Amino acid sequence: MLFCFPLVLGGLLITFTSFYCLMCVHLHLFYDQLISELQTSNVLHECQRLLQAYEAITNTITSLDDHFSYSAFITVLSSMAGIFRASYVLIFDRRATAMTLIYYCVALSLYMYVFLSMILAASAATLKGRIARELIISLPGKFPSHYKKLKMILRNNFKSDVVLTLWKMYVIERSILISACGTLVTYGILIATLGNVQVPKEN
């Protein structure tokens, strides 16, 4: 039963990951379309429509983050734990049988898929969101005759940067990949070192 637990957990993680990534892909596409129109728009009426579209997208991101930031955190944390466990067995467990190695290879692939999908999809949406925000903030300079009006709208409605997070603590960016790799390698070396330490026997 315990032997199947990682794969059962992995199945649950994949289900949530698929949903979360699908939402991120849609947000990425919406941002992409918005950025394209912001770069070509030269009419004030169009800008007002694009501001409304941007607000709708950011409201969706806020709602998604409010409801699923904790689940995203648990998913990323669980996948990292699974990657660590599987990697440790594959690298350091010399007594593992061929079936055990195959099992942990499958588990490692599954957890890697979950981890990379979550981070890459969410970070791509975050990056597009920041590009869109920069274009939105630059709108007053694009229409000098309506500078004060647009500046007031931006100040009242778009003060903060809206991003996807892990439990409201970490903004999901690609840099998390480097941090996670460093953490896994550090703990792997630490545990491997402690495992090789032998306590001297007393005479």
Q: Mean pLDDT across the stretch 124-138? A: 94
Confidence of residue 180 (pLDDT cuts 50, 70, 90): very high
pLDDT of residue 96: 85
State yes or no: pLDDT of 149 exceeds 90: no
pLDDT of residue 123: 96
pLDDT of residue 128: 96
The type of residue at 172 is: I
State yes or no: pLDDT of 7 exceeds 80: no
Asked if 141 and 44 count as a contact pair (C-beta separation under 8 A), the reply is: no
Least confident stretch, 52-61, 103-112, 140-149: 140-149
Confidence of residue 199 (pLDDT cuts 50, 70, 90): very low
Confidence of residue 51 (pLDDT cuts 50, 70, 90): very high
CA 40 to CA 47: how far, in whole Å?
10
Interacting residues of 129 by C-beta distance below 8 A, sequence separation 6+? 27, 31, 57, 58, 61, 161, 162, 163
Query: How deeply is 13 buried, as exposed, middle or buried, from its count of CB atoms within 10 A (0-12, 13-18, 19+)?
Result: buried
- Of residues 54, 69, 77, 80, the one with CA closest to residue 164: 69
Q: Mean pLDDT across the stretch 77-94? A: 90
Asked if 159 and 137 count as a contact pair (C-beta separation under 8 A), the reply is: no
- Of residues 128, 119, 38, the one with CA closest to residue 72: 119
Q: Mean pLDDT across the stretch 23-41? A: 95
Whole-prediction pTM value?
0.88
Give the mean pLDDT of the chain. 88
Q: Mean pLDDT across the stretch 45-58? A: 91
State yes or no: pLDDT of 159 exceeds 90: no
Dig out the tokens for 163 from the structure. 């991003």
